Amino acid sequence: MQANEQGTAAQQLRIAVYPGSFDPVTYGHLDIIRRSAKQFDQLIVAVLNNTSKNPLFTVEERKEMLREVTSDIPNVTIDSFRDLTVRFVKSRQANVIIRGIRSVTDFEYELTLASTNRLLDSEIDTIFMMTNPKYSYLSSSIVKEIAMFKGYVSELVPEEIEKRLDEKFKSRS
């Protein structure tokens, strides 16, 4: 392949960004990650460093957990950002934002978000993935609530995450 052909091939890589809080990553997120990784050459899972939320895990911890649970998916990388999502997406040469939808409530919120992002940068598209019905009720908040009261979360998050939740709540009590 000629050098300029290689350049063109690199430009044509289909790169998507899946942004979120991932506080912590659940089987619902992981399902969206696995399915969207099949649709793109590269998927960047990006932890939003959002100061207005009060997260349980630090950004670094959330990234480590994401790395652990996606280590078997070769085209997934983990990153974080503290900027407008569209600006971060552009900075990574991506042009697609992936979001997951569980319910009509999610849809209404996500529609506002996608419309705003479109207004900010019309070259970036949002693609929605419908939840696997198995996980339609599942959220990071529910997982934290159950784990806080020492409930059983092994059907909701991978084992590594369960351990981290145990450690976190032990160190807090």
Instruction: Supply the minimum distance, in Å, between the C-beta of residue 169 and ligand ADP.
Output: 19
**Choices 2-10, 38-46, 94-102, 119-127 (CB under 6 A): range interacting with ligand ADP:** 94-102
Q: In this structure, which amino acid lies at residue 37?
A: A
Position 138 contacts ligand ADP (CB under 6 A): yes
Question: Would you tell me the crossing angle of helices 59-70 and 27-39 to the nearest 10 degrees?
Answer: 60
Q: Which of 21, 29, 63, 99 does the annotation list as catalytic?
A: 29
- Among 42, 75, 95, 139, contact with ligand ADP (rule: CB under 6 A): 139
Q: Which of 62, 63, 99, 102 does the annotation list as catalytic?
A: 102
Instruction: Supply the minimum distance, in Å, between the C-beta of residue 10 and ligand ADP.
Output: 28
- To the nearest 10°, report the CA torsion of 156, 109, 60, 25: 10
Question: Would you tell me the crossing angle of helices 140-148 and 159-172 to the nearest 10 degrees?
Answer: 50
Euclidean distance between CA atoms 26 and 3, whole angstroms: 42
**Choices 15-23, 72-80, 81-89, 148-156 (CB under 6 A): range interacting with ligand ADP:** 15-23
- Among 62, 63, 99, 144, contact with ligand ADP (rule: CB under 6 A): 99
17 forms beta bridges with 44, 97
Position 29 contacts ligand ADP (CB under 6 A): yes
Instruction: Supply the minimum distance, in Å, between the C-beta of residue 130 and ligand ADP.
Output: 8
Catalytic site residue 170? no
Euclidean distance between CA atoms 2 and 84, whole angstroms: 37
Q: Which residues are near ligand ADP by CB under 6 A?
A: 20-22, 28-29, 32, 99-100, 102, 106, 131, 135, 138-140
Catalytic residue ranges: 29, 53, 102, 140
